[in-house]
Amino acid sequence: MGKTIIAGPCSVESREQLREVTEALVRLRGVSMIRAGVWKPRTRPGGFEGLGEPALGWMQELAKEYNAVYCCEVARPEHVALCQRYGIRAVWLGARTTGNPFMVEELCHALQGSSMAVLVKNPTSPDVRLWLGAIERLQAAGIDDITAVHRGFSMYHSSGYRNAPLWEVALELRRERPEVPILCDPSHMGGRADMVEPIALAAMQLDYNGLMVEVHPHPETAWSDREQQLTPAALGQLLEALRRLPTTVSGEALPALMALRGHIDDLDHELLTLLARRMELSREIADIKREKGLTIYQSKRWEAVMQDRLQLAADLGLDEDFTKELFEKIHAESVRVQMES
Ligand code: PEP
Ligand code: MN
pLDDT in tens, the chain (341 residues): 589 999 999 999 999 999 999 999 999 989 999 999 999 988 888 889 999 999 999 999 999 999 999 999 999 999 999 999 999 999 999 999 999 999 999 999 999 989 999 999 999 999 999 999 999 999 999 999 999 999 999 998 878 999 999 999 999 999 999 999 999 999 999 999 999 999 999 999 999 999 999 999 999 999 999 999 999 999 999 999 999 998 766 666 777 888 899 999 999 999 999 999 999 999 999 999 999 999 998 899 999 999 999 999 999 999 999 999 999 999 999 999 999 98
pLDDT at 1: 52
pLDDT at 41: 85
Could you say which ligand is closest to the alpha carbon of residue 229? 2
Residue 8 Cα, ligand 2 centroid: separation in angstroms?
Answer: 10
Candidate from 188, 189, 224 with most ligand 1 atoms within 8 A of CB, to mutate? 188
pLDDT at 157: 81
H and E: helices and strands count for the chain: 13, 8
Residue 41 Cα, ligand 1 centroid: separation in angstroms?
Answer: 8
Nearest CA, atom 4, ligand 1: 94
- The packing angle between helices 128-140 and 167-176, to 10°, is 30
Could you say which ligand is closest to the alpha carbon of residue 191? 2
Residue 94 Cα, ligand 1 centroid: separation in angstroms?
Answer: 5
Are residues 90 and 79 in contact, defined by beta-carbon separation less than 8 angstroms? no
- The packing angle between helices 320-340 and 299-316, to 10°, is 140
Could you say which ligand is closest to the alpha carbon of residue 96? 1
Amino acid present at 64? K
Nearest CA, atom 1, ligand 1: 10
pLDDT at 166: 95
The count of C-alpha atoms lying within 13 angstroms of the C-alpha of 60, restricted to the half-sphere facing its C-beta, is 12
pLDDT at 338: 93
List beta partners, residue 311: none
pLDDT at 255: 79
Residue 109 Cα, ligand 2 centroid: separation in angstroms?
Answer: 26
Ramachandran category for residue 52: left, alpha or beta (phi over 0 → left; psi -120 to 50 → alpha): left
Amino acid present at 187? S
Three-point CA angle 17, 151, 224, nearest 5°? 30
Report how far residue 212's alpha carbon sits from residue 90's, in angstroms, rounded to the nearest whole number.
Answer: 13
Q: What residues line ligand 1, using a CB cutoff of 6 Å?
A: 10, 37, 41, 94-95, 121, 151, 188
Residue 226 Cα, ligand 2 centroid: separation in angstroms?
Answer: 9
Are residues 92 and 121 in contact, defined by beta-carbon separation less than 8 angstroms? yes
Ligand 1 atom closest to the CA of 97, numbered from 1? 8
115 Cα distance to chain centroid: 24
327 Cα distance to chain centroid: 28
pLDDT at 59: 98
Nearest CA, atom 2, ligand 1: 10
Report how far residue 224's alpha carbon sits from residue 245's, in angstroms, rounded to the nearest whole number.
Answer: 32
Are residues 43 and 100 in contact, defined by beta-carbon separation less than 8 angstroms? no
Q: Is 232 helix (H, G, I), strand (E, B) or coil?
A: helix
Residue 336 Cα, ligand 1 centroid: separation in angstroms?
Answer: 44
Pairing relationship of beta strands 4-8 and 210-214 according to DSSP bridges: parallel
Are residues 222 and 239 in contact, defined by beta-carbon separation less than 8 angstroms? no
Residue 298: which of 310, 309, 285, 311 has the closest Cα? 285
Ramachandran category for residue 50: left, alpha or beta (phi over 0 → left; psi -120 to 50 → alpha): left
Question: What does each C-alpha distance from 165 to 152, 161, 174, 230 come to in angstroms?
Answer: 4, 8, 15, 19
Could you say which ligand is closest to the alpha carbon of residue 93? 1
Residue 209 Cα, ligand 2 centroid: separation in angstroms?
Answer: 20
Question: What is the model's pTM?
Answer: 0.84
